Amino acid sequence: MIQHRKWLTRFGTALTLVASFFIFLLRIEPVSADNPRRVPAEWEPQAGVWLQWPGPWERSYERDFARIASVIVRYQPLHILYSSKSIQTNAEEAIKRAGVDPDHENIRWHEIPYDSAWMRDNGPLYIEEHGKLKIQNWGFDAWGGAFGASVPFDQDNAVPLAVAELVGLQTESIELVHERGNLEFNGVDTVLLNWSVLGDPRRNENYTKAKAEQDLKQYFGVSKVVFIEGVPIGDLTNGHIDGIARFINPTTVVVGECIGGSACGEPNHPTGQVFDAAAATITAAGFDVIREPIETSVTYRGQTYDTNYLNWLVGNGYVITTGFSNEKADTAAKDRLKGYFPGRDVHVIEMLESWANGGGVHCHTNDMPAMADIE
């Protein structure tokens, strides 16, 4: 009976995804002269993925980066930033230990200065405008200074301009502080984000939600801005959306759900309430919502972490998500992601060292939409 219920659940999920896709085909509208810009969705074709390799003070999760790299190079170009020759040497050695040749044809090395290893947040945001790709350069202040005044960010803040110069793209500077990890796009008409991040006064003082909605429509070419609110316990980013809710197609959003043996599954837990409120808000905005179970927890270096698999990266033919060294939970998550992204290979990589330091595979990577390849 339990297996029968599992089959029905998977069949129902598949039907929802297929129905959502056809609804999207019926309602999709091309980019128009009145609205000439668009942010491609993450599942669209990519030119490559970028990483800022961990430096000396982040070297403890270098192994996690090597594991990510070992998957990406099977499918598409991987651009690795290094800020010194010693960091490049460390990266090459780590990649070799992961079973990959650092001279692999899909690896491109770039010497560009940066401060830390979270390129999702300080790196470029790509805009398609009049059929051409350009880079938006948003301000970056190390997550509103959440990790302390001693954490540098000036070089991180300059990375989008350095990448633009390297690849020959035009830039547009946005006079707001924000991170790419708090932006989810459906590739058509909507941006989904957490107002608790963008509206954080440590980032943007005296910024209002009404002004933000107006600005985001202009910057991204969207007609709909969906704000959730709330900060999961222990989240020093103030609640990046890529740990709460993710688009998997233009009409469907996967939202976490704290259940079972997870710490956040306890009654009235603040983190569970953030997820539930997000699901309600997104449903009210007209999207189909699938709840992604956060059903257990693991202990690592004396700390307890709930098994949240939402921090995935979608690439050309594959998906990578953060694993928690819990075979049962990791396997179940892999099966769910296969349903979310049919036709793509799904990889679950144990990277608890990175997770303990604030994030997973999506937080570290920065995907570039398809364009002419670069060397």
pLDDT of 270 higher than 90: yes
For residue 341, the tally of other CB atoms under 10 A from its CB is 19
Q: Do the domain assignments include residue 16?
A: no
Q: Which structural domain, as residue segments, surrounds residue 136?
A: 37-369
Q: What pLDDT, on a 0 to 100 scale, did the predictor assign at position 150?
A: 92
Q: Could you tell me the CATH number of the domain that includes residue 94? A: 3.75.10.10
Q: What pLDDT, on a 0 to 100 scale, did the predictor assign at position 7?
A: 42
Q: Do the domain assignments include residue 336?
A: yes
Q: Do the domain assignments include residue 8?
A: no
C-alpha span between 168 and 130 (Å, rounded): 17
C-alpha span between 31 and 26 (Å, rounded): 15
Amino acid identity, position 63: R
Q: Which of 146, 142, 150 is nearest to 118 (CA)?
A: 142
> Per residue in 49-76, pLDDT tens?
999 999 999 999 999 999 999 999 999 9
pLDDT of 363 higher than 50: yes
C-alpha span between 173 and 254 (Å, rounded): 31
Half-sphere exposure of 99 (CA within 13 A, CB side): 6
How distant, in Å, are the alpha carbons of 14, 248, 319, 362, 375 from that of 339? 7, 10, 12, 19, 35
Q: Do the domain assignments include residue 68?
A: yes
DSSP bridge pairs for 52:
81
Q: Do the domain assignments include residue 237?
A: yes
pLDDT class of 36 with cuts at 50, 70, 90? confident
> Per residue in 233-257, pLDDT tens?
999 999 999 999 999 999 999 999 9
Q: Do the domain assignments include residue 145?
A: yes
Q: Do the domain assignments include residue 25?
A: no
Total domains in the fold of the chain: 1
Q: How many residues does the structure list for the chain?
A: 375
| 81 within 8 A of 53, measured Cβ to Cβ | yes
Q: Do the domain assignments include residue 105?
A: yes
By three-state DSSP, how is residue 96 classified? helix
DSSP 41-87: -TTS-EEEEEEE---GGGGGGHHHHHHHHHHHTTTS-EEEEESSHHH
